[in-house]
């Protein structure tokens, strides 16, 4: 009898629980403000690489070079010609007209917060700001310059020689390397300032209007924007095909991986009020257009990002709330770079490395993130995630490209030389695995 009552009680409790769960499923979950405040908290420093530490002199030189038309072939074009400070270091048009009189292939990207970037250009083909900075200078349709000619011109300028000497006291010469470092150092100072959203993140509840907060709830909830627009910069640094009608293949040809066709780097959402139009091709004019694209206009094709919500039904009110929220990520007045101290950060540290030969990729993370192996051992990387990955090793000692690694696939990499290897995903560059391979004896 007692046992029967107990069983009945358990059944009733289960029914009540099921009812509660069912009821909760009908309503959006309440916003977990504490969690999201942690997720979107701004950093307190700007990362700078060990081989190009930030100095005042270097940044000043970089700022001058950024405006210097001598870097171009026609002597009339500078970096700032397209990356205008008044337009969030972009140019306000869908595609800038190139030297051939035709629109360039892609939208001029805004330059905010690139210090945190993992790859550069819309298709991520440059692995550092230093590498990136040289490319437009010699691109025939952009600046159409000649680096050697430009360097000679700069070196013939006494003031420029003096500025290079001040910026690079250990190598006081006008070289391509120093030119790249100075331009990169300047760009790393372009940190977007705090906005009303940041005040909310810091705990100021009233900083956001109810409609804006409702938009944020949608952003991290029903609309699923946060799947790609993550962290304080609102980008995962990954490459996604978001179903724009453009025929541009984007990341695919860079990786040699057709599964990454039409994929472009997730743009940051900071200061976007000041940098319309939007997307890699500048095809969307307003935030409203952007929201409508995700809700109604995605072009279906096999390469679509797995991180795109399958279906989003958004009412007019919800769309307006999302737009209201997006506005809070921009300054109310034209933004000026924030002053944030620089701190040297080296990627791929392996302080917590463990001996392992099998690595997981679940939830876009190599796990463990740093491993120790012996020469001759095989590393197995299992895609137990829901997304396509592309395992790569790009180094002097070893080069490896897995091609498209579909969910369920396992990639095997052998290491026959001791050393340090950085394994990344070409589609999600924030996935980084540090592999330390030692000789069997040393290990």
Give the interface with another protein as residue ranges (CB under 8 A): 84, 86-87, 91-94, 96-97, 273-274, 276-277, 285-288, 320, 323-324, 327, 334
Which residue lies nearer to another protein by CB, 260 or 324?
324
| Residue whose CB is less far from another protein, 209 or 409 | 209
Q: DSSP labels for 281-292?
A: T--B-SHHHHHH
Name the residue nearer to another protein (CB basis): 273 or 388: 273
- Whether residue 269 contacts residue 329, with contact meaning beta carbons closer than 8 Å, is answered with yes
Q: How far is the CB of 332 from another protein (least distance, A)?
A: 9
Closer to another protein at the Cβ: 92 or 419?
92
Minimum distance between the CB of residue 66 and another protein, rounded to whole angstroms? Answer: 15
Q: For another protein, which is the closer residue by CB, 286 or 412? A: 286
Which helix (H) or strand (E) is 81 found in, with range? Answer: helix 79-82
Question: Measured from the CB atom, is 39 or 207 closer to another protein?
Answer: 207
Q: Are 216 and 208 in contact (CB under 8 A)?
A: yes
CB of 324 to another protein, least distance (A): 8
Distance CA 163, CA 172 (A): 9
For the bound state, the minimum distance from the C-beta of residue 88 to another protein, rounded and expressed in Å, comes to 8
In the complex, the smallest distance separating the C-beta of residue 279 from another protein, rounded to whole angstroms, is 14
Helices (H), 207-275: 210-220, 251-255
The distance of closest approach from Cβ of residue 275 to another protein in the complex, given in angstroms and rounded to an integer, is 8
Smallest distance from another protein to CB 185, Å: 24
Identify the burial level of 55 via C-beta atoms within 10 angstroms of its C-beta, where 0-12 means exposed, 13-18 middle and 19 or more buried: middle
3-class SS letters over 7-40: HHHHHHHHHHHHHHHHHHHHCCCCCCHHHHHHHC
Containing 136, the helix (H) or strand (E) segment is: helix 129-138
Contact 163, 63 (CB under 8 A): no
Task: Find the radius of gyration of the CA atoms of the chain.
Answer: 25
Q: Which is nearer to another protein, 89 or 421 (CB)?
A: 89
**CA gap 294, 272 in Å, rounded:** 17
């Amino acid at each position: 009898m007692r046992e029967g009552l107990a069983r009945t009680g358990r059944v009733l409790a289960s029914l009540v629980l099921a009812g509660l769960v069912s009821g909760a499923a009908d309503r959006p979950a309440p916003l977990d403000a504490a969690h999201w405040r942690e997720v979107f908290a701004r950093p307190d420093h700007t990362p700078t690489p060990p081989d190009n530490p930030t100095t005042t002199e270097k940044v000043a030189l970089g700022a001058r070079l950024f405006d210097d038309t001598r870097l171009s072939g026609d002597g009339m074009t500078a970096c700032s010609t397209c990356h205008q400070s008044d337009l969030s270091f972009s140019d306000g048009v869908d595609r800038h007209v190139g030297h051939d009189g035709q629109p360039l292939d892609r939208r001029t990207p805004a330059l905010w917060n690139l210090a945190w970037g993992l790859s550069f250009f819309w298709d991520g083909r440059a692995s550092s700001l230093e590498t990136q900075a040289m490319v437009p200078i010699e691109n025939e349709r952009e600046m159409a310059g000649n680096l050697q000619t430009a360097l000679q011109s700069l070196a013939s300028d006494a003031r420029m020689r003096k500025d290079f000497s001040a910026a690079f006291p250990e190598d006081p010469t006008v070289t391509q390397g120093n030119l790249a470092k100075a331009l990169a150092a300047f760009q790393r100072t372009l940190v977007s300032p705090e906005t009303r959203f940041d005040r909310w993140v810091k705990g100021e509840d009233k900083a956001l209007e109810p409609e804006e907060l409702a938009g944020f709830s949608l952003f991290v909830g029903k609309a699923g924007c946060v799947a790609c627009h993550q962290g304080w910069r609102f980008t995962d640094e990954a490459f996604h095909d978001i179903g724009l009608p453009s025929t541009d293949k984007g990341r695919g040809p860079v990786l040699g991986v057709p599964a990454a066709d039409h994929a472009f780097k997730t743009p940051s959402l900071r200061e976007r009020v000041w940098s319309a139009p939007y997307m890699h091709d500048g095809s969307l004019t307003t935030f409203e257009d952007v929201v409508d694209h995700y809700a109604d206009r995605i072009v279906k094709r096999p390469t679509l990002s797995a991180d795109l919500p399958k279906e989003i039904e958004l009412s007019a009110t919800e769309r307006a709330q999302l737009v209201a929220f997006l506005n809070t990520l921009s300054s109310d007045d034209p933004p000026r770079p924030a002053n944030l101290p620089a701190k040297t950060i080296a990627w791929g540290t392996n302080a917590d490395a463990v001996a392992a030969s099998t690595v997981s990729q679940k939830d876009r993370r190599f796990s463990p993130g740093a491993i120790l192996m012996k020469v001759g051992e095989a590393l197995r990387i299992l895609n137990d995630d829901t997304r396509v990955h592309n395992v790569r090793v790009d180094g002097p000692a070893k080069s490896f490209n897995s091609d498209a690694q579909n969910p369920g696939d396992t990639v095997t990499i052998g290491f026959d030389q001791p050393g340090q290897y950085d394994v990344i995903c070409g589609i999600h560059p924030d996935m980084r695995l540090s592999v330390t391979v030692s000789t069997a004896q040393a290990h």
